[in-house]
Amino acid sequence: MSQVSVEIPPGYQKVFGRPRALSDAPYTYCPGCHHGIIGRLIAEAIDELGIQGRTVGIAPVGCSVFLYRFYRCDFIQAAHGRACAVATGLKRANPDLIVFSYQGDGDLAAIGTAETVHAAARGENFTVIFVNNQIYGMTGGEMAPTTLPGQRTVTTPQGRDVALTGYPLKISEMLAQLDAPAYITRQSVHDARHVQLARKAILKAFRNQLEGKGFSLVEVLATCPTNFRMPPVEAQKWVTEKAMQFFPLGDLKVRDE
Amino acid sequence: MSRVLMRGNEAIAEAAIRAGLKCYFCYPITPQGELVEYMARELPKRGGVFLQAESEVAAINMVYGAAAAGVRTMTSSSSPGISLKQEGISYLAGSRLPCVIVNMMRGGPGLGNIAPAQGDYFQATKGGGHGDYRLIVLAPSTVPEAAQLVMLAFDLADKYRVPAMILGDGMLGQMMEPVELPPPVDPSSIPEKPWALTGAEGREPNVILSFDLSPQGLREMNRVLQDTYREIERSEVRWEEVETADAEIVLVAYGTMGRIAKTVVERAREEGIKAGLLRPITLWPFPYEPLRELAERVPTILTVELSAGQMWEDVRLAVEGRAKTPFYGELGGVVPTPREILSEVKKHVSS
C-alpha cells in the first residue's frame, strides 16, 4: 500500500491522522476485534514520546503474531508465553531500548505465567500490553485462563464448569501483590471514553519505562466476536455486562503515587 | 597468556568472559554449579549482565532476547535443563540468532543422576527441538581445550548466525587442570551485526522471526539454514587423530571418553597392539570424511561412548561397511577404566 499524502490548505490544521509509528500495512484482524484499537493506542504513545527509533516490540503467538507488520520499529516474535523473558534479555542487553511486549491471555496468563510473574517480581523495566479477550482466538476459540464461568468455548461446549476447570485467573490482581511492579492497571476499549482512558494508561506505561520506574502492565479487556459467535455490537455488551463484572476496571497498583 | 589451575566449569566461564560475553542467563543445576557461581562473581565486575532466571525455559528465552539485541550471550545447564531449553534453541536456530549453550552432561533419562554421561549426543547433534536445524557442537576433552573451544564457539556462532553448543560432561566440569587462558578478545574484532534490534533510527526496521505462514516462504527460510549448514560442513569439521598411520584398530571417542581412549592407545601400543584414535572435536559437523578414509585401510573401528551407542550411528554412517564397527559403552554415569577398554580392544585384534 502506498502512503496517501494530502496537502493541508492554508488556514487549516491537521488534527487527526495515522500515527507515524504505524506502517501502511492493513490490519489482519477480524471485523469488530479490539486488537486494532489497542495497536493504534500503542502507536500513539510511541509518537507522543518520540521513541520510535529506539523501540523494540515483541509479537506473541496468536492473532497478533503479525504485529511486526503494523509498526515502523524493530520487532521480534517470541515463542508462546515467553515474551517477558525475551523482553528481559533485550532490555538487559541494551537498556537504551524501549521494549514492549504485546500478549494475549493464553500467552501471558497460561503458558507464560511464570515468565510474566517473575519479570514483574524482578521489576524489569519494560512495558507489557496484555489483551484479555477471555478466549483463544487464533487456534479456534478454546477456553482461556480468563474464560468466564459458564462461558461457552469449543473446549467448554457446555459452558465453563468451575468444578472441572476452576476459575479465571485474575493475573493483574496477582501481579499487584508484588513489591516491584511500577504500574498494574486494567482498562477497556469498548467505547470512546474508555478508549481515551486506555490511551492514557498505555502512555503512562511507556513513560514509566522512559523514567526507569520498572515493570508496567496494562491489561485491556477485548472482544473476539468471531469466537464469541456474536455480532460486534453484542460482543461490546459482553465486555460491560459479563467481563467487567469479573474483571473490574481501574488501577491495581501505582507505585510512587 | 596466564597459566592457572582451574576447574572445567570455571575455565569455560572465564573463557566466555574473555570472548566478550555480555549477558549470561542461567538456572542452577548440578554438575555445572561452579560455572554459574563463577559468572555471578565475575561477570558483573567485568561489565556483563548475570541473571538467574526462574527456569531454564526463561533463561534460554532471555538468551533469545539478548542475542537479538546483538550482544554475545550464553546459557549453561546439564541434561534435564537442556531438555527444557529445546523450544528456545529451536527458535534461536530458526531466527538465526548466535549464542553459546553449554551442556555439562549427566546421567539420564529423566532425573538420572549427576555422574558424567554422554547420553545427550542425539539431542545435541540431530536437532533436539522441532524442525530441520543443527547446532555447531564442540566436544572438549580437557580443561584447556574447553577454554579454547568456548572462544571458538562464540566466533563460529557469530560467523554463521548458528547457535553453538559446548558438549561436556560432569567429569570435565569438575576436573582441575592447568589452563593457559587465551587473551581477551578485542571487542572491535567482533563482527558487526546489522540485523540486530538496536532501534530503527535512521534505517528500515529490523525484524527477527522464525516463522512464515506461506510454505514457499518457509521453504526459503529453511534453504538459507540448510545452505549455511552445508557451508559449515565444508569448512568447520575438526578432529584429532592419534597413532592412526599404521593402526589395525582405531577407537572413536569424544570428550571425556576421548581422553581416556588416548590412554588406552598408549597402553595398547606398549603391549604391541597397533591401536589408534580418532577423536571428533566437532560432533556436528561430524568428521565423516576422515573416518571414511581411515575405514579404507583400518579393519576395525571401535566406538567407545558413555551411552548406549549414539555417536556409533554416525560412525557406521561414515564407515558404510568398509570396516568392522564394534561398540563399547557404559551407562548410568559409570566411566570405564582404560584397562576395561583395553581388554575390549584385545577382543578385536587378530594377534
In this predicted model, what pLDDT tens digit does every residue of B10-52 receive, in sequence order? Answer: 999 999 999 999 999 999 999 999 999 999 999 999 999 999 9
Cβ distance A76 to B205 less than 8 Å, yes or no, reads no
Size of interface A-B (CB pairs under 8 A): 135
- Predicted confidence at residue A8, as pLDDT, reads 87
CB contact under 8 A, B66 and A68: no
pLDDT at position A6 is 74
Q: Does the beta-carbon distance from B23 to A56 stay under 8 Å?
A: no
Of all residues in chain A, what percent are helix, strand and coil, respectively (each to 5)?
A: 40, 20, 45
Provide CB contacts within 8 A for A140, sequence distance 6+.
A154, A227
Residue with cell 492493513: A26
* Spatial CA neighbour of A102 closest among A50, A38, A48, A54: A38
Chain B residues in contact with chain A using a Cβ-Cβ cutoff of 8 Å: 22-23, 25, 49, 51, 53-55, 57-59, 61-71, 73, 87-88, 91, 95, 197-202, 205-211
Q: Where in chain B is the domain with CATH 3.40.50.920?
A: 240-347
Set of cell numbers at residue B167 = 558438549
pLDDT, average across residues B100-128: 97
d(C-alpha B66, C-alpha A214), whole Å: 18
Bridge-based pairing state of the strands A250-254 and B23-26:
unpaired
ipTM of the complex: 0.96
Task: Find the mean pLDDT for residues B280-292.
Answer: 98
Kindly tell me if the per-residue pLDDT of A210 is higher than 60: yes
Distance, first Cα to last Cα, chain B: 47
**CATH number for region B2-235:** 3.40.50.970
C-alpha separations of B59 from B32, B95, B124 in Å: 15, 17, 18
Looking at the DSSP bridge assignments, the partners of residue A11 are none
Give me the CATH topology for the region A35-254.
Rossmann fold (3.40.50)
- Report which of A93, A119, A137 is spatially closest to residue A235, judged by C-alpha positions: A137
Q: For CATH 3.40.50.970, list the domain ranges present in chain B.
A: 2-235
With a cut of 80, say whether residue B229 has pLDDT above it.
yes
Q: Mutating which of B22, B50, B64 best tests the A interface, going by the most A Cβ atoms within 10 A?
A: B64
CA distance A49 to A211: 11
Nearest residue in B to A22, CA atom: B205
Amino acid at B263: T
Region A147-153: mean pLDDT is: 97
Q: Taking the alpha carbons of B235, B261, B308, B102 in that order, is the dihedral positive or negative?
A: negative
| Euclidean distance between CA atoms A257 and A208, whole angstroms | 13
Q: Give me chain B's average pLDDT, please.
A: 97
Interface test with B, best of A20, A56, A58, A108 (most B CBs within 10 A): A56
Rounded Cα distance between B169 and A61, Å, is 35
The per-residue pLDDT for A1 is 47
Per-residue pLDDT for A246 more than 60? Answer: yes
Enter the C-alpha cell of residue A133: 479477550
**CA A68, chain centre distance (Å):** 14
Cβ–Cβ under 8 Å, residues B54 and A65: no
Neighboring chain A residues of B199 at a CB cutoff of 8 Å: 53-56, 73-74, 96-98
**What is the largest distance, in Å, between two alpha-carbon atoms of chain A?**
66
Q: What is the pLDDT of residues A122-132, one digit of tens each?
A: 999 999 999 99
The model's pLDDT over B51-80, given as tens digits with 9 standing for 90+, comes to: 999 999 999 999 999 999 999 999 999 999
Over 80: is that where the pLDDT of B274 sits? Answer: yes
Q: Which fold is adopted by the domain B240-347?
A: Rossmann fold (3.40.50)
Those residues of chain A whose CB sits closer than 8 Å to some CB in chain B are 52-56, 65, 68, 71-79, 82, 85-94, 96-98, 114-115, 117-118
Mean pLDDT calculated for residue range B294-306: 98
- Give CA–CA dist A215/A195, Å, rounded: 22
Give dist(CA A67, CA A50) in Å, integer: 20
Helix or strand run (H / E) with residue B290:
helix B288-297
- Beta-sheet strands, E only, within B55-187: 73-77, 100-105, 136-138, 164-169, 176-181
Cell triple for B171: 567429569
Dump pLDDT digits (tens) for B156-186.
999 999 999 999 999 999 999 999 998 999 9
Q: Rounded distance, CA B78 to CA A192, Å?
A: 53
Percent of chain A with pLDDT over 70: 98
Q: Which of B22, B71, B197 lies closest to A56 in CB terms? A: B197
CB distance A94–B71 less than 8 Å?
Answer: yes
Sign of CA dihedral B291, B104, B231, B227: positive
B57's enclosing H/E stretch is helix B56-68
pLDDT, tens digit (0-9, with 9 covering 90-100), for A29-83: 999 999 999 999 999 999 999 999 999 999 999 999 999 999 999 999 999 999 9
**Grid cell listed for B234:** 565444508
Contact check, Cβ <8 Å, B54/A114: yes
Give the number of other Cβ atoms within 10 Å of residue B39's Cβ.
28
